[in-house]
Amino acid sequence: MRVVLEMEQTMNTNREYKNTVFTKLFNDVDKLLELYNALSGGNYGADTKIEINTLNDVLFMDLMNDISFTVDEKVVILIEHQASINENLPLRFLLYIARVYEKIIEKKAIYRQKQMKIPMPEFIVLYNGKSEFPDEKVLRLSDAFHEVPGHMEKHGSLDLTVRILNISAGHNEGIVNKSVALHGYVTFVSKVREGLDSGMELSVSVTEAVRYCEEKEILQPFLANHASEVVNMLTTEFNLEDAIAVWKEEGREEGIAIGEARGEARGEARGEARGEARGKVWGEAHVLSLIESGHSLAEVKEILYREHEEYSN
């Protein structure tokens, strides 16, 4: 439980101070333009106008480091993601882009009779986690819609697509190598993971990765100018990643226990011999869905216990 409490405190801090190594590195128009050229296959020159308009309030609660910017009549939401890919990303992007449009569009303009042109949205996620993931995947908001009998178009009147690129070591090297900053960042994170895999403490591994990059002139002068800050930020990010994994496991065990009780209660009521087994399946799936929805562990427990009481009575 101590790890969970520390994780919740860290998440609260992360909501207030959004800077991470990724966002700090690419909160620079030159590096950001270079990165976007690599991701889009474009060839935007140094004189291209690019404006960063990242939201200050956080809609993305977990390990998602977001940068929002406008370029060439497009508004691009770019996220670096180290945790497992959440299938609800399109819905969360929908909420995010609405807030971005509110920020960059004159409020009174939407009431004018003449149609107002707005920047085209583009959603990109850079996956940099440990789990197996394809080089590229597209998630669609319409895949989450309930199927409506007789409705020909599954996306209805709305859809949104998210392009996910795996930038972990060994993936999409053609894209990664087009951006000096992105290649350096991927190398840096990879060195941190190598240190952890060899048994180093997290803080030591991050410090050694910083030293390695300085010796090889990777991410310079960025790391030289922000070394201590980078160590603190990345240590917090990786600690949070591990803590979320622990949080999910504790919630899973809690849900299985309550699910067993719920399954037993249903089994006795209906004479189902497999009530306990069904309860286990329900417990794990249900608690993970609650966690993915953003509920804290305390809230998950409260919901599960309340549901258990309802089914037991």
Q: What ranges do the domains of the chain cover? A: 17-195, 246-312
Q: pTM (2 decimals)?
A: 0.72
| Burial of residue 174, with CB atoms counted within 10 A of its CB: 0-12 exposed, 13-18 middle, 19 or more buried | exposed
DSSP lists the bridge partners of residue 126 as 80, 165
Residue 119 contacts residue 74 (beta carbons within 8 Å): yes
pLDDT score of 7: 32
Give pLDDT, residue 213.
Answer: 95
Cα angle for residues 119, 17, 218 (degrees, 5° grid): 80
Task: Output the CA–CA distances (angstroms, integers) from residue 240 to 27, 64, 295, in the order listed.
Answer: 22, 11, 16
List of the chain residues with pLDDT < 70: 1-18, 56-65, 83, 152, 240-302, 304-313
Q: What is the pLDDT of residue 202?
A: 87
